[in-house]
Structure 1
Amino acid sequence: MIDKDTFLGFCDEALVAMRDIVVDLGDDLANQRPALPGANSPFAILTHCLGVTARWASTVNLGEVVPRDRDAEFTATGAVDTLAADTDAMRASLRDWVARTDPAAPPAAPTSPRQDWYAATCGGVLLHVYEELAQHRGQLELTRDVLRAGG
């Protein structure tokens, strides 16, 4: 069974680290894409993470739809201060959604079981949220490094 406090600690650490990277880069670098095929900007990566978190923790698990335009996440640009505030708001929303989630229960709005095997329980869905945050945190760290190196 998933320990909610530990789960939230891991997610919070990832979201804060990503927020801080984007803020540290500033508006100019945070909105640039590395010169690599298919690369995303730091701003887009974090925007995507906020969309992932809302979709899975709220829409899928609780059936409370949070509007999302997944395609637009990858082209998102804007002020890093606004994205930092949105990240902090998402951290608070995630705490609320997790508090109201029964990890052993099936999701309220299940996805395709063939494709999303981990979504058989709300706990599996929450682990997927952290999986996404962890992998995109690494992607964001590498993206930051490439941009700072002039690439």
Structure 2
Amino acid sequence: MTIPHKQIQRGFTIIELVVVIVILGIMAVVVLPRMDSLGGFEAAGFRDQTVAILRFAQKSALAQRRAVCVSVGATGVTLTIDTTTPPNDSCDAALVPPFTPRAGSGLAGSGFSFLRMGQTNQGSDITLTIAGADPVRIDAVTGYVR
């Protein structure tokens, strides 16, 4: 006598298929609206890199005991540093950040300088606005960028 072999079933059960379809539906509801708002993500990235460049400028002013001037343009900030001996707070050479900033737009504010002790040359706090992102604030007394 021989024992018949079990038939091997291949494929998915209906329950497995329904579960996968439900999971895909939930992901579509959650992920698709977020993909539509990538502009906000880009603006936040531009803001974060602007903050990093400003912190680099302030730390450079402290480390080298020289003024670092910040020029604000719609597409980003440009840094220059005082290279005269003795320092006279006149920025005359480009200061290149350690990374290449991403392109962005919508940055608004006025230029200012970080002085030798890290504070700014302004009498009050500085606010830089970026379209689609939170503003960047620089404390006038301490030079802290937030």
TM-score by length of 1: 0.29
Greater share of helix: 1
Bigger relative CO (Cα 8 Å, ≥ 6 apart)? 1
More strand by share: 2
